[in-house]
Amino acid sequence: MTATFVGMPRFPVAAKAALADTQLRRNLAHATATIRDKRARVVAEVDNWEELRLAGAAIKDAALFSLDTQLVLLEERLTAAGATVRWARDAAEACAIVAEVAQAHDIDEVVKVKSMVTLEIGLNEALEAEGIAAWETDLAELIVQLGDDLPSHILVPAIHRNRAEIREIFQRRMTGAEGITDEPAALAGAARTHLREKFLNARMAVSGANFAVAETGTLVVVESEGNGRMCLTLPEVLVSVVGIEKVVPTWEDLDVFLRLLPRSATGERMNPYTSTWTGVTPRDGPQEVVVVLLDNGRTRALADQVGRQALRCIRCSACLNSCPVYERVGGHAYGSVYPGPIGAILNPLLKGVGTDPQVDSLPYASSLCGACFEVCPVRIDIPSVLVDLRAQVVDAHRARRWGGIPSTQTVAMKGAAVTFGSGRRLGLAERFARLGTGVASRFGASGWTSARDLPRAPRESFRAWWRRTDGGRS
Amino acid sequence: MTSHTQGARDEILGKVRSALSGTAPTARPPIPHGSAPDDVVALFAERVADYRAVVERCTERQLPPRLKAALPEGRVVVPAGLSVQVPDAVVDDGLTAAELDACAAVVTDATVGIAETGTIVLDHGPGQGRRAITLVPDVHVCIVRTDQVVADVPDAMPRLDPTRPLTWISGPSATSDIELDRVEGVHGPRTLHVLLVG
C-alpha cells in the first residue's frame, strides 16, 4: 500500500471535500443502513443485551485496572506454552521485531490477517522498506491494497467502494479477472483464486488478536472468510502484534465478548470463524509463535481518567455505522486507521493533544447526539470523552499561546461574561444586537456561519418589550 | 528475551503502574445467561441452516449411507480417530497443504454444538484432526451428536479446553466486505454439511 494518512488535513477541511463526493455518500448510506438494520435485528433477539453490555464493560475495566498483573500473567502463560513474548514501546519497535523475525528465517514475503493494530503501526510500509512483501488477505483489505487506497472503516475497510468500483480494481490488478462480473459472489471467488497459492506456500503470517486471555495465554482471532484460519494454520512462523489493552482476565470472560462482538459488528449471531490458540501446538499449525505486546500510546490513554474507557473498545464498528457524521463524510476525513466516533477519541488519547492540528480537530467531529454510546457493546461513553477532550484541546492551546495573545473565542467568552454579569450592560448590548449579528456573520463568526444560520436578533428585546408593555399588562 | 525488549517491558509496565496509581479494582457483575430454549437440538439445526449450511438429522444406523450421499466425487480426507468408517478415505498423516488442496472433502467429528448461535466448535482432538484438514478441502462434512449440543455460548465454555487450539465454525466461509452484503464462499470450505446424529 503506497497511500498514507500522514499529512492529512484537519477534519473540517477533509470533511468538506468528502461531502462533495456524491458516489461516496451513496455507497456509505447504503452500507451503513444495511448493517444498522442487521445489527438491530440480532440484538433484539437477545433478551439480556443490556446486562451483557454491562458485563462486557466491567470485564474490560477489571482487566485495565489490573493491567500490569494481567500482562505479566499473560507473558508467563504464553512463554510456558512455547510462544516468545516481545514488548514494543512504539510502532517503530514493533515493526522492527516483525522484520527481524522474518529476516532470521530468510523470509521476504508474509501473509497478513486483517488487523487494525498492524495498520496503526504502518507495518506494511515498514516491511516493504526492509524488502519484505506483506500481502493483505482479508477481502476488504485486499481491495484497499490493490486500489492503492486507504481504509475507511474498522470492520469493512473498503466500505466506501461499491461492487462496480471493486470489479474495476480487480480487473486492473488481478490476472485472470478480466471477464469478471460485479456480483459479490463472483468477486469473492476471484479473491479466493488470487490468494490460494499465497496461502498454500506462505512461510510466515502476521496477525493481530481480538482478545488475549491472561490466565491461559490464549489468543483469539474473530473473522469471516477463512483467510485468518489460513494464516494462523498453514505457515511455519506466526507473529501476532497485540495491543496491551486486548487482555481479558479469564477464559469464561471470553464468552461475553463472543456474544457481544459478532452481533455488534456484522449483525450476525456468530461470525463464520473464530480461532483460538495457546502458544505452539506440536504438529499442528505454526511451530514458531511470537507475540508482540504493544504500547504505542495506550499507557497514555490509560492515564486519562475520563478517556481510559476507550481502551475497552473491541473494534466492532457499531459506532461508525450509527454515526450521522460518519455516514455523511466517510472514514478518510478522520485521517486515521481509526475513523468515526471511536477514532475521534482514540486518536487524541493515543497521540496526545496540543501538537497536531489534525488530531486536535477530531474531538469536534461530532454533533454529540449520543447514538454511538447507545450501540457500543462495552458502553464507552463517547460523547462525554469527546467533551472532555475538547476541554483538553482548548487548555493545551491556551497554555501554548505565546505572548499572551488570546484567541477570538477567548475574547468572545470573556466579553460575554462581562456583558451577562450586569443588567445594565446586557440592556446596552441588546440595543446593538441586530447590528452585532450582521457584523459577526460577515467577520468574526464566519467560521460558525459558513455552515449554519445565525438567527437575526428581534427588533425589540424581551426586556425592552417588558418595560414598554408593563409585562404584557398594558 | 533480548535486552532491547527487556527495557521496553520494564518501561511499559512502569507506565501502566503510574497510570493506574490511585485507582481501585472494580466490582464485576455475574456473567448473564439467556433463557434456555425448549428444544436445544431443533434450535441448533435451524440456526446452522440459517447460515446456508446443509443440516440433516439422522440415527446412528442411518449415518453411513447419509455420509456417503453427502460426499462429492474425489478424494476424501479423514482424521485418524474419526468415529465412523469412511470407505476409500485418506487418513491424514501430516499431508502437505498442496496434498490437502487436492482433496475434495473432509469428514470430522465435533466437540460442541451451540444452539443459540448455530456454531460448531472443534478442539482438533483425534476425531477432528489438525486444523489444516478442515480448512483446505472445499467440502466439510461434520458429524455432531445431539448430546454435544448446548444452549448458548456460556454453556460451551466449560466444555472447551483453552490449551488446545479451537476452531469455532458458524456456517460456510463468508464475507460481508462488499456493500455489507453476506455472501458465502471465500477461503474456507464453501460447503458445510452437518449430520446431526441421535
Percent of chain B with pLDDT over 70: 98
Residue A158 has its nearest CB partner, among B116, B131, B177, at B177
C-alpha cell at A294: 504493544
Domain end point (choices A299, A329, A360): A299
Its domain, for residue A456, covers: 408-469
Nearest CA in chain B to A284: B130
Residue A251 has its nearest CB partner, among B2, B23, B162, at B162
Average pLDDT rounded to a whole number, residues A39-50? 95
Residues B44-62, buried b or exposed e (16+ Cβ, 10 A)? bbebbeebebebbebeeee
Structural domain includes residue A123: yes
Residue A224 has its nearest CB partner, among B98, B163, B174, at B174
Structural domain includes residue A399: no
Distance from CA of B123 to the nearest CA of A (A): 10
Interchain proximity B12–A51, CB inside 8 Å: no
Same domain, A247 and A107: yes
**Bigger pLDDT: A458 vs A440:** A458
Q: Grid coordinates 453427502 are at which residue?
A: B70
Given a contact cutoff of 8 angstroms between Cβ atoms, the answer to whether B169 and B132 are in contact is no
Nearest CA in chain B to A290: B1
Task: Tell me what pLDDT residue A440 has.
Answer: 64
Interchain proximity B130–A284, CB inside 8 Å: yes
Average pLDDT rounded to a whole number, residues B105-118? 98
Interchain proximity B175–A166, CB inside 8 Å: no
Residues of A in contact with B188 (CB under 8 A): 225-226, 229-230, 272-273
Given a contact cutoff of 8 angstroms between Cβ atoms, the answer to whether B81 and B108 are in contact is no
Residue B39 Rama label (left phi>0; alpha psi -120 to 50; beta)? beta
Average pLDDT rounded to a whole number, residues A109-135? 96
Instruction: Give residue A122's Cα distance to chain centre.
Output: 15
Residue A256 has its nearest CB partner, among B31, B178, B187, at B31
Same domain, A198 and A62: yes
A 417-456 residues inside an 8 A Cβ radius of B: none
Lowest mean pLDDT among A125-129, A420-424, B190-194: A420-424
Interchain proximity A272–B11, CB inside 8 Å: no
Domain end point (choices A258, A279, A299): A299
Rounded Cα–Cα distance for residues A347 and A356 (Å): 11
- How many A-B residue pairs are in contact by the CB < 8 A criterion? 262
C-alpha cell at B178: 462488499
Short-list A342, A437, A416, A363, CA closest to A120: A342
Percent of chain A with pLDDT over 70: 93
Same domain, A192 and A69: yes
Average pLDDT rounded to a whole number, residues B67-87? 97
Residues of A in contact with B163 (CB under 8 A): 81, 216, 218, 278
Rounded Cα–Cα distance for residues B53 and B190 (Å): 9
Task: Tell me what pLDDT residue B155 has.
Answer: 96
Structural domain includes residue B117: yes
Distance from CA of A196 to the nearest CA of B (A): 8
Report the CATH number at residue B52.
3.40.50.10420
Task: Tell me what pLDDT residue A1 has.
Answer: 43
Lowest mean pLDDT among A69-73, A266-270, B4-8: B4-8
Instruction: Give residue A132's Cα distance to chain centre.
Output: 27
Q: Tell me the HSE value of B131 on the side-chain side, using a 13 A CA sphere.
A: 29
Q: Grid coordinates 509463535 are at which residue?
A: A289
Its domain, for residue B52, covers: 39-176+184-197
The pLDDT confidence band at residue A332, using thresholds 50, 70 and 90, is very high
Helix (H) or strand (E) holding B183, with range, is: strand B183-184
Interchain proximity A255–B31, CB inside 8 Å: yes
Task: Tell me what pLDDT residue A439 has.
Answer: 64
Look at residue A164 and tell me whether its pLDDT is greater than 80.
yes
Given a contact cutoff of 8 angstroms between Cβ atoms, the answer to whether B114 and B152 are in contact is yes
Rounded Cα–Cα distance for residues A337 and B15 (Å): 25
C-alpha cell at B30: 455475574
Structural domain includes residue B12: no
Structural domain includes residue A17: no
Nearest CA in chain A to B166: A276
Residue type, A433: A
Q: What is the pLDDT of residues A199-233, one digit of tens each?
A: 999 999 999 999 999 999 999 999 999 999 999 99
Residue A255 has its nearest CB partner, among B124, B131, B157, at B157
Residues paired with residue A285 on neighbouring β-strands, in sequence order: none
Given a contact cutoff of 8 angstroms between Cβ atoms, the answer to whether A134 and A113 are in contact is no
Interchain proximity A269–B164, CB inside 8 Å: no
Interchain proximity B168–A229, CB inside 8 Å: no
Q: How deeply is A403 buried, as exposed, middle or buried, from its count of CB atoms within 10 A (0-12, 13-18, 19+)?
A: exposed
Interchain proximity B170–A273, CB inside 8 Å: yes
Q: What are phi and psi of A255, to 5 degrees?
A: -50, -50
Q: How many independent structural domains does chain B possess?
A: 1
Lowest mean pLDDT among A14-18, A131-135, A336-340: A14-18
Residue A61 has its nearest CB partner, among B26, B164, B168, at B26
Structural domain includes residue A171: yes
Interchain proximity A234–B47, CB inside 8 Å: no
Q: How many independent structural domains does chain A possess?
A: 2
Rounded Cα–Cα distance for residues B164 and B167 (Å): 10
Structural domain includes residue A162: yes
pTM score, two decimals? 0.91
Given a contact cutoff of 8 angstroms between Cβ atoms, the answer to whether A223 and B168 are in contact is no
Rounded Cα–Cα distance for residues A210 and A137 (Å): 17
B 104-143 residues inside an 8 A Cβ radius of A: 114, 116-119, 124, 130-132, 135-136
B18 touches chain A (CB under 8 A): yes
Helix (H) or strand (E) holding B148, with range, is: none
B 163-182 residues inside an 8 A Cβ radius of A: 163-182
Structural domain includes residue A75: yes
Structural domain includes residue A230: yes
Nearest CA in chain A to B11: A89
Percent of chain B with pLDDT over 90: 83
Domain end point (choices A299, A332, A353): A299
Residue B131 has its nearest CB partner, among A163, A189, A285, at A285
Rounded Cα–Cα distance for residues A196 and A200 (Å): 6
Task: Tell me what pLDDT residue A417 has.
Answer: 84
Test mutation, B176, B182, B192, chain A, max A CBs within 10 A: B176
Q: What is the pLDDT of residues A377-426, one digit of tens each?
A: 999 999 999 999 999 999 998 876 655 566 676 777 778 888 888 888 88
B79 touches chain A (CB under 8 A): no
Q: What is the pLDDT of residues B21-51, one digit of tens each?
A: 988 877 788 888 888 899 999 999 999 999 9
Given a contact cutoff of 8 angstroms between Cβ atoms, the answer to whether A233 and A285 are in contact is yes
Q: How far is CA A249 from CA A207, A216, A304, A306, in A?
A: 21, 9, 22, 22
Report the CATH number at residue A199.
3.40.50.10420
Given a contact cutoff of 8 angstroms between Cβ atoms, the answer to whether A373 and A382 are in contact is yes
Structural domain includes residue B30: no
Please state, rounded to an integer, the average pLDDT across all residues of chain A. Answer: 92
Residue A48 has its nearest CB partner, among B23, B32, B119, at B32
Lowest mean pLDDT among A85-99, A432-446, B75-89, B137-151: A432-446
Average pLDDT rounded to a whole number, residues B182-189? 87
Same domain, A251 and A103: yes
The pLDDT confidence band at residue A178, using thresholds 50, 70 and 90, is confident
Q: How many CB atoms lie within 10 A of CB B87?
A: 9
HEC letters along chain A: CCCCCCCCCCHHHHHHHHHCCHHHHHHHHHHHHHHHHHHHHHHHCCCCHHHHHHHHHHHHHHHHCCHHHHHHHHHHHHHHCCCEEEEECCHHHHHHHHHHHHHHCCCCEEEECCCHHHHHCCHHHHHHHCCCEEEECCHHHHHHHHCCCCCCCCCCCCCCCCHHHHHHHHHHHCCCCCCCCCCHHHHHHHHHHHHHHHHHHCCEEEECCCEEECCCCEEEEEECCCHHHHHHHCCCEEEEEEEHHHEECCHHHHHHHHHHHHHHHCCCCCCCEEEEEECCECCECCCEEEEEEECCCHHHHHCCCCHHHHHHCCCCCHHHHHCHHHHHHCCHHHCCCCCHHHHHHHHHHHHCCCCCHHHHHHHHCCCCCCHHHHHCCCCCCHHHHHHHHHHHHHHHHHHHCHHHCCCHHHHHHHHHHHHHCCHHHHHHHHHCHHHHHHHHHHCCCHHHHCCCCCCCCCCCCHHHHHHHHCCCCC
Structural domain includes residue B17: no
Please state, rounded to an integer, the average pLDDT across all residues of chain B. Answer: 94
Residues 6+ apart with CB under 8 A from A438: none
The pLDDT confidence band at residue A434, using thresholds 50, 70 and 90, is low
Rounded Cα–Cα distance for residues A382 and B162 (Å): 34
Nearest CA in chain B to A159: B179
